[in-house]
């Protein structure tokens, strides 16, 4: 499939042009948050330790052969950024870093609070250097509270929120983990949104501030709160995981078909009648008891066995297209490979091709949010390790070439 090439917007500047950001994070949450800035026009400088950040070692790698410049995880989360290296644990490195901070509007990081204290890079210390700095700190459990010092990763944050008890797994069986990095990505999006709010509110509050994002709380608010808080507060009860499908209305579940599965949802009267029509209006479906979605749910086992007899004779594309035409919101359950070739996503420029010096021509995700007047998305590949050291340290820190070379020889950069 031929994909559009990455290209800049017609105006040459994205919606966030002029905003200056330091990405001082590793793996997912902070880098993706910074990517949301860089892919929409902000000037983002990624600051890595001299050995490179952890995502460079995480992969996936082409042919499963590890290479610091070929990690898919690093590539996808670091497009459109310039990159430098800096060892902030030594005085010369911290001096370089604070020089970059004087330039920045926003600092995005996901280090544990105790690590930032050990580096003498707390917000109180950095605000003395740059009073207008907005610092977006994204951690599993937040900057305060008894768990703030704990080691934790994405799935630790997810399970702390109660989301796995509510959503993942069958009733009466053990909870299951969610998709990898969901808490980190939710935290990243929350950080980007409220970091922008803090930046545009600097004049109102008299300077910058630290945006404290707990990935666990982002998941709790989005996954758990909307469905459970009111009921728990008012009645002292809450829902548990239900396995596949919805317990209070049917059909609303995943069912097998000739070449995979479809997600079936036909709760409203018109949707149910559309599904009946597509199935050939079988005699069992005309029973009066099936006119009510709650009664259908009470008899779901019987109903689904009939539906699966029909779906087994058709492909997921056939089922989806015919049901959608009949007003019934059914979609195929696509594999990653199938989703990557969907005409719908292609029409929305969801994928772009980018050239990378080590990976070659590679497919990347386009802009996740559409703004026609100032479209975003990746136009440049992720930086190679220390690629812009000379450019940035001479431009922003006024270091001569000999000084930069000496810092490199001492592994400060």
pLDDT tens per residue across span 288-334 = 888 899 999 999 889 999 999 999 999 999 999 999 999 999 999 99
pLDDT of 227 above 70: no
pLDDT of 225 above 70: no
Stronger pLDDT, 203 or 89, i.e. the higher one: 89
Q: How many CB atoms lie within 10 A of CB 65?
A: 8
Look at residue 8 in the predicted model and tell me its pLDDT.
43
What percent of the chain stands above pLDDT 70? 95
pLDDT of 13 above 90: no
pLDDT of 7 above 60: no
Q: At what angle do helices 316-325 and 269-278 cross, to 10 degrees?
A: 130
pLDDT tens per residue across span 350-370 = 899 999 999 999 989 998 888
Decide: 138 and 110 in contact? Cβ < 8 Å.
yes
Length of the chain: 413
Q: Which residue has the tokens 């050939």?
A: 280
Q: How many CB atoms lie within 10 A of CB 126?
A: 21
The candidate with the shortest Cα–Cα distance to 197, out of 109, 134, 138, is 134
Decide: 152 and 141 in contact? Cβ < 8 Å.
yes
pLDDT of 9 above 80: no
Taking the C-alpha atoms of residue 405 and residue 132, their distance in angstroms, rounded to an integer, is 32
HSE of 219 in the Cβ direction (CA atoms, 13 Å)?
29
Beta bridge partners of 253: 264
Return mean pLDDT, the chain: 91
DSSP track, 292-315: SHHHHHHTHHHHHHHHHHHHTTS-
> Which token pair is 193?
């949104």
Decide: 231 and 237 in contact? Cβ < 8 Å.
yes
- Domain ranges in the chain are 20-223+346-409, 252-338
Q: What CATH number is given for 252-338 in this structure?
A: 3.30.1540.10
pLDDT of 238 above 80: no
DSSP state of 5: B
User: CA angle 284-289-292, nearest 5°?
Assistant: 115
Whether domain 20-223+346-409 has CATH 3.40.50.10540: yes
Strands lying side by side in the sheet with 331-332: 252-257, 260-265, 331-332
The whole-model pTM stands at: 0.91
Taking the C-alpha atoms of residue 375 and residue 198, their distance in angstroms, rounded to an integer, is 23
What percent of the chain stands above pLDDT 90? 72
């Amino acid at each position: 499939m031929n994909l559009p090439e990455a290209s800049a917007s017609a105006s040459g500047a994205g919606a966030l042009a002029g905003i200056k950001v330091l990405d001082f994070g590793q793996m997912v949450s902070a880098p993706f948050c910074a990517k949301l800035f860089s892919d929409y026009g902000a000037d983002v400088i990624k600051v890595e330790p001299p050995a490179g950040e952890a995502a460079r070692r995480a992969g996936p790698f082409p042919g499963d052969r590890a290479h610091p410049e070929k990690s898919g995880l690093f590539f996808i989360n670091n497009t459109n950024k310039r990159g430098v290296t800096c060892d902030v644990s030594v005085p010369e490195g911290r001096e370089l870093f604070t020089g970059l901070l004087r330039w920045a509007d926003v600092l995005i990081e996901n280090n544990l609070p105790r690590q930032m204290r050990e580096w003498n890079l707390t917000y109180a210390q950095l605000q003395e250097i740059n009073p207008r700095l907005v610092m977006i700190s994204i951690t599993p459990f937040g900057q305060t509270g008894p768990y703030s010092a704990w080691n934790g990763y994405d799935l630790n944050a997810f399970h702390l929120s109660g989301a796995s008890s509510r959503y993942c797994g069958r009733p009466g069986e053990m909870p299951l983990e969610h998709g990898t990095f969901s808490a980190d990505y939710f935290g990243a999006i929350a950080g980007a949104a409220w970091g922008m709010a803090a930046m545009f509110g600097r004049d109102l509050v008299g300077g910058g501030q630290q945006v404290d994002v707990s990935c666990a709380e982002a998941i709790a608010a989005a996954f758990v709160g909307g469905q459970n808080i009111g009921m728990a507060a008012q009645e002292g009860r809450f829902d548990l995981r239900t396995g596949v499908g919805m317990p209070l209305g049917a059909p609303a579940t995943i069912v097998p078909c000739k070449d995979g599965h479809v997600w079936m949802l036909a709760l409203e009267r018109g949707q149910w009648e559309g599904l009946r029509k597509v199935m050939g209006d079988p005699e069992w479906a005309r029973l009066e008891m099936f006119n009510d979605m709650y009664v259908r749910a009470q008899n779901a086992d019987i109903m689904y066995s009939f539906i699966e007899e029909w779906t087994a004779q058709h492909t997921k594309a056939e089922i989806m297209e015919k049901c959608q035409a009949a007003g019934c919101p059914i979609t195929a359950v696509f594999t990653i490979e199938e989703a990557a070739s969907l005409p719908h996503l292609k029409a929305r420029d969801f994928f772009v091709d980018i050239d990378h010096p080590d990976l070659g021509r590679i497919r990347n995700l386009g802009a996740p949010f559409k703004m026609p007047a100032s479209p975003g998305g990746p136009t440049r590949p992720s930086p190679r390790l220390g690629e812009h050291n000379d450019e940035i340290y001479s431009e922003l820190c006024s270091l001569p070439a000999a000084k930069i070379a000496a810092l490199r020889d001492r592994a400060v950069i």
